[in-house]
């Protein structure tokens, strides 16, 4: 096991001079496996409804399961097969069908109509990006614009579903909030700029709002879209939690917490009930916990606990990652009764 020492704690208030008028009780992150099927999507809405009873929350969502990979594969195909327009047509058809099927199951009719327009807009932008690849040739920057489309198409479904459920769920644009350098494909977040923007944005929201923000994506200061690397939504969620000094980060996924190794490939993997932040940090940085390697950095700095829970068993406790001196009881939304 890696023994990477965790960074020393730095108060998040040193990242930004923008004062925080309010702090979310939790940031909830829903990965592609959670937002990716109609069944688990309805559990996402239930979990949000339950969580918000305990105070303000911020939601970070990924692309629907497998969509980022689909986008990446199609771009590779397009680039290596002489810019075959058929690849783009097939991609757009598949994405339209997948997202509309999902939205039809999740949304009321007027929201569905609104979503159709949003989806058409993103699909037409996607075609434009492929057009640029044909004209200008492949570049990592254009690849990020393609990959970002997954979150850009998924997040509005959740926002509209929350509005249908009676919540104030404003449209939020991650590219206006997460400032990065131009290391396309694995961009580095500019902490101070991002913290300033995120704190100002959060301060301007209605206190009852449930913001849903796309994970995985950001933009350079000049406004060019970037991505944080695969599974970057985990990292986005941790950044928002640290910058907004949230009570906790809860990551919903398709397994009931963290295991000693990948439970889908190792029959001997053992579930961890709780794990110290230091220990989890070392294992995450070496890629052993199935999360973006940078996920725990902001949480270590800010001393914020994290839960990893299953969207398939939302009542189950999952795994708690606890910074030194932080008690399980601070985790909000509260840990449900033991299963
Ligand atoms: N140590 C680990 N503990 C738990 N899950 C792990 C671990 N290592 C790898 N994984 C894998 O991570 C997957 C969840 O990550 P991911 O597929 O990115 O989900 P999500 O769509 O929720 O982000 C699990 O299904 C599991 O196969
Ligand atoms: N675009 C997604 C792709 C992905 O892996 O999503 P998730 O692991 O959250 O389902 C992301 O990197 O965040």
Enter the ipTM: 0.94
CB neighbourhood size of 247 (10 A):
21
Ligand 2 geometric centre to CA of 328 (Å): 28
**Cβ distance 59 to 158 under 8 Å?**
yes
For helices 109-136 and 149-164, give the axis angle rounded to 10 degrees. 170
Minimum-distance ligand to the CA of 216? 2
Q: Which atom of ligand 2 is nearest to the CA of 231?
A: 12
Question: Which among 262, 287, 306 is the best mutation to test ligand 1's pocket, defined by most ligand atoms within 8 Å of the CB?
Answer: 262
284 has a pLDDT exceeding 90: no
User: 231 φ, ψ to 5°?
Assistant: 70, 20
What does DSSP assign to residue 54?
Answer: G
Beta strands in the chain (DSSP E): 26-30, 57-61, 212-214, 217-219, 225-227, 249-253, 274-276, 306-310, 319-322
Per-residue pLDDT of 102-156, as tens digits, reads 999 999 999 999 999 999 999 999 999 999 999 999 999 999 999 999 999 999 9
Supply angle C-alpha 63, 34, 100, rounded to 5: 55
Minimum-distance ligand to the CA of 152? 2
**Rg (Cα) of the chain, in Å, rounded?**
19
66 has a pLDDT exceeding 90: yes
226 has a pLDDT exceeding 80: yes
Minimum-distance ligand to the CA of 148? 2
Upper half-sphere CA count for residue 159 (Cβ side, 13 Å): 21
Per-residue pLDDT of 298-326, as tens digits, reads 999 899 999 999 999 998 989 999 998 88
Would you say the CB of residue 254 lies under 6 angstroms from ligand 1?
Answer: yes
Let me know if 100 is exposed, middle or buried by CB neighbors in 10 A (0-12, 13-18, 19+).
Answer: middle
Ligand 2 geometric centre to CA of 308 (Å): 15
Out of 2-11, 78-87, 254-263, which region has the weakest mean confidence (pLDDT)? 2-11
Minimum-distance ligand to the CA of 256? 1
Ligand 1 geometric centre to CA of 321 (Å): 16
Q: Top-level CATH class of 12-64+165-330?
A: alpha beta
Atom 4 (ligand 2): residue with closest C-alpha?
231
Quickly state the pLDDT bin for 225 (edges 50, 70, 90).
very high
Let me know if 261 is exposed, middle or buried by CB neighbors in 10 A (0-12, 13-18, 19+).
Answer: middle
Atom 12 (ligand 2): residue with closest C-alpha?
231
Quickly state the pLDDT bin for 1 (edges 50, 70, 90).
very low
> Residue 7's pLDDT is what?
60
SS3 category, 250: strand
SS3 category, 141: helix
CA–CA gap between residue 89 and residue 77 (Å, rounded): 12
**Cβ distance 64 to 34 under 8 Å?**
no
Omega before residue 277 within 30° of 0, cis? no
SS3 category, 222: coil
Q: With CA atoms as reference, report the closest residue to 115 among 155, 59, 165, 63.
A: 155
- Separation of CA 132 from chain center: 27
Note the pTM of the prediction, 2 decimals: 0.94
CA–CA gap between residue 157 and residue 188 (Å, rounded): 28
Would you say the CB of residue 255 lies under 6 angstroms from ligand 1?
Answer: yes
CA–CA gap between residue 57 and residue 241 (Å, rounded): 10
Supply angle C-alpha 61, 332, 260, rounded to 5: 70
Q: Which atom of ligand 1 is nearest to the CA of 234?
A: 23
Ligand 2 geometric centre to CA of 287 (Å): 15
Cβ < 6 A, ligand 2 pocket: 31-33, 62-63, 68, 150, 215-216, 230-233
Q: Which atom of ligand 1 is nearest to the CA of 231?
A: 18
CA–CA gap between residue 264 and residue 283 (Å, rounded): 18
Domain boundaries, the chain: 12-64+165-330
Per-residue pLDDT of 159-183, as tens digits, reads 999 999 999 999 999 999 999 999 9
């Amino acid at each position: 096991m890696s023994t990477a020492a965790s960074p020393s704690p730095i108060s998040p208030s040193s990242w930004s001079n923008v004062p925080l008028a309010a702090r979310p009780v939790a940031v909830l992150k829903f990965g592609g496996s959670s937002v990716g099927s109609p069944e688990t999507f309805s559990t996402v809405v239930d979990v949000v409804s339950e969580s918000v009873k305990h105070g303000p929350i911020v939601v970070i969502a990924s692309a629907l399961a497998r969509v980022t990979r689909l986008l990446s594969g199609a771009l590779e195909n397009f680039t290596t097969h002489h810019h075959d327009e058929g690849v783009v047509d097939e991609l757009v058809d598949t994405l339209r069908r997948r997202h509309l099927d999902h939205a039809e199951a999740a949304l009321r009719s007027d929201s569905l109509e609104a979503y159709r327009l949003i989806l058409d807009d993103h699909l037409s932008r996607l075609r434009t990006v492929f057009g640029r690849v044909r004209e200008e040739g492949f570049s990592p920057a254009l690849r990020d614009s393609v990959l970002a489309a997954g979150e850009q198409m998924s997040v509005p479904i959740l926002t509209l579903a929350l509005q249908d459920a009676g919540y104030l769920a404003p449209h939020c644009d991650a590219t206006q909030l997460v400032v990065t350098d131009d290391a396309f494909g694995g961009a580095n977040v500019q902490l101070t700029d991002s913290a300033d923007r995120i704190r100002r944005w959060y301060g301007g929201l209605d206190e009852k709002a449930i913001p849903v923000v796309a994970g995985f994506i950001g933009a350079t200061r000049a406004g060019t879209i970037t991505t944080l690397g695969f599974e970057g939504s985990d990292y986005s969620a941790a950044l928002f939690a640290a910058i907004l000094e949230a009570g906790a980060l809860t990551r919903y996924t398709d397994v009931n917490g963290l295991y000693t190794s990948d439970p889908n490939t190792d029959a001997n993997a053992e579930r961890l009930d709780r794990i110290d932040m230091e220990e989890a940090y070392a294992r995450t940085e070496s890629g052993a916990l199935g999360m973006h390697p940078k996920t725990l950095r902001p949480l270590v700095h800010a001393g914020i606990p994290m839960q990893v829970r299953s969207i398939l068993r939302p009542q189950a406790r999952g795994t708690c990652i606890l910074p030194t001196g932080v008690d399980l009881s601070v985790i909000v939304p509260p840990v449900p009764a033991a299963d």
